[in-house]
Chain A
Amino acid sequence: MEITNEARDNEMVPLALLIIIAGGAKPTPTSVSVDVVFKNVSPENVRILKRFEPEEDLPIWFSVHLTSADGTPLLGTKGGGKINLRGTLDYVLLKPGEEFSLQLNAAKFFQTELPEGMYKVSVTYHNQYGHDCFKGHLKSNTVTIIVPSREKRE
């Protein structure tokens, strides 16, 4: 089943995207470990393109949004861009109710270290590549993190 943006706008999205702050890992200005979970919420099988390595290519598939308490977004996100894929592509097949997860470092999606502060974090997945797989974008839930200053951590 190839899901397009048009399908997304018609609320036929077969996947839910959830994020969880990875257990035991406290955020720092250079490391915010986030578990990203795809869940098939449809009654049919769904394929996801599995191209989550190398780590520096993750911004192709994910955007990370950090917003301070007053709603001001943190700018300076790294671009995701487009990729010239050649050769065989791998996929994950999710049956109804099944999940697939991976971990990403949200801090690495920004060009500089994260300033101290409280942030709301959310993630957007976007894909336009592959065959017979999910295409379009998914927006996650929002979680709150506190990034301490370097001095406070030391």
Chain B
Amino acid sequence: VSAQCGTQQKLDINVANPNAPVVITWNHSSVTDQTSGSATTVEKPFTADYEACADIAKNEWHLRVKSISGGTDMHIRMGGFITPQPGVNINTQAQAVSAINDMLLEGAPGGPAATWVTEAAIRGHEQWHVDEWVETSAHYWPIAEPALEGLKVNYDANENNMAGAVAAMRLGASGADAKVADFKQKCRDYWMTLGDSPGDRPYRAGGVVLNGEIQAVRNYGAAQTPPWALPKGSNPAPAADHCYQPWLPYNP
């Protein structure tokens, strides 16, 4: 491009984006209250933001993912549970035996604990689910993103109109919105293959948190005269990997 002094030349230059892979950004929230009921970890919808890249020579707009965000909402309900506090609400050997036996159920197949549970233990369980969701999404997203970015529409149908092109590429049973919905559904389908029954990894993740409380009760009992005889044992730790089931097929 050349211009003489005193003249101006305005040029629109379309430069293809390098199209680097986009990583999911996460927004997790957590609420704890004293209501009764079951703790939950609920996934948020994925929200994708797009732009389009023009290949004018080929008369094509190509979809590009600018960002994608997801997250979870954790709700911990402590109503009905008792947090063990030796010397405060555990003052007899019988109470100590009962509390330890209950806490030893948290990670057991016959569990979980019915009464003696801490907020931290339930959080440990729910955080396991958060990690499951994040790792599941991280597995499937690199498959979903190229499928989204394989979408294209004619350039001349939306000439110099990127927003119109993006809107067009979101529509239809094979459009971007459908692909994002399929991506989320696949993540959810896989998430549900990961065990969440008593004795499974999420309960064990909460159980190991209770081991500290179990030991605190034992220490209190050992300091009594005569020392209390208390149940032995501890909650087993979960295996390290969250996504241990075979991945479900996904061909977006």
Q: How far is the CA of A128 from the CA of B132 in the complex (A)?
A: 15
- Using an 8 Å CB-CB cutoff, how does the interface string of A47-80 with B read, 1 for contact, 0 for none? 0000000100101100101010011110111111
Identify which of B169-177, B219-227, B232-240 touches chain A.
B169-177
Q: Per-residue 0/1 for B71-83: is the Cβ within 8 Å of any A Cβ (1 yes, 0 no)?
A: 0110000000000
B149-192 contacts to A, CB under 8 A, are: 170-175, 177-178, 180-181, 185, 188-189, 191-192
Shortest Cβ distance from A130 into B: residue: B197
- Pick from B40, B129, B170, B185 the residue with the most CB of A within 10 Å: B40
A87 near B129 with CB under 8 A, answer no
Assess A72 versus B175: contact at CB under 8 Å? Given A80-B188, A84-B126: yes
- Decide if A85 is an interface residue (CB 8 Å cutoff): yes
Q: How many angstroms between the C-alpha atoms of A111 and B173 in the bound complex?
A: 21
Question: Chain A residues near B181 (CB, 8 Å)?
Answer: 65, 73, 75
Contact A82 B40 (CB under 8 A): yes
Knowing A79-B42, A86-B114, the reply to whether A71 touches B178 (Cβ < 8 A) is: yes
**Residues in chain A near residue B146, CB distance under 8 A:** none
Partner of A84, one of B40, B173, B175: B40
Within the complex, the shortest CB–CB distance from A87 to chain B, in Å, comes to 7
User: B95-131 interface mask toward A, CB cutoff 8 Å, 1 = contact, 0 = none?
Assistant: 0000000000000000011100000001001100100
A80 touches B42 (CB 8 A): yes
Q: CA–CA, A124 to B192, complex, Å? A: 13
| Bound CA span A36–B139, Å | 33
Given contact pairs A70-B171, A79-B43, A81-B41, A63 touches B185 in the complex (Cβ within 8 A): yes
- Report the tally of A-B residue pairs with Cβ distances under 8 A: 90
Measured between beta carbons, the chain A residues less than 8 angstroms from B189 are 126, 137
Q: Does B28 count as interface, using CB distance less than 8 angstroms?
A: no
In angstroms, Cα B170 to Cα A71, docked, is: 11
Q: How far is the CA of A86 from the CA of B38 in the complex (A)?
A: 7
Contact (Cβ within 8 A) A128 B192? yes
**List of A residues within 8 angstroms of B212 by Cβ:** none
Given contacts A60-B40, A128-B192, contact A75 B122 (CB under 8 A): no
Q: Is A82 in contact with B188, judged by CB distance below 8 angstroms?
A: no
B-chain residues with CB within 8 Å of residue A83 when the two chains form the complex: 38-40
Rank and list the top 7 A-B pairs by shortest CB-CB distance, nearest first. A71-B173, A81-B42, A79-B43, A84-B39, A79-B42, A73-B181, A83-B38
Q: Can you list 19 A-B pairs, Cβ within 8 angstroms, ordered by A?
A: A60-B40, A63-B188, A67-B173, A70-B171, A71-B178, A72-B173, A73-B177, A73-B178, A73-B181, A79-B42, A80-B43, A80-B188, A82-B191, A82-B196, A82-B202, A83-B38, A83-B40, A84-B125, A137-B189
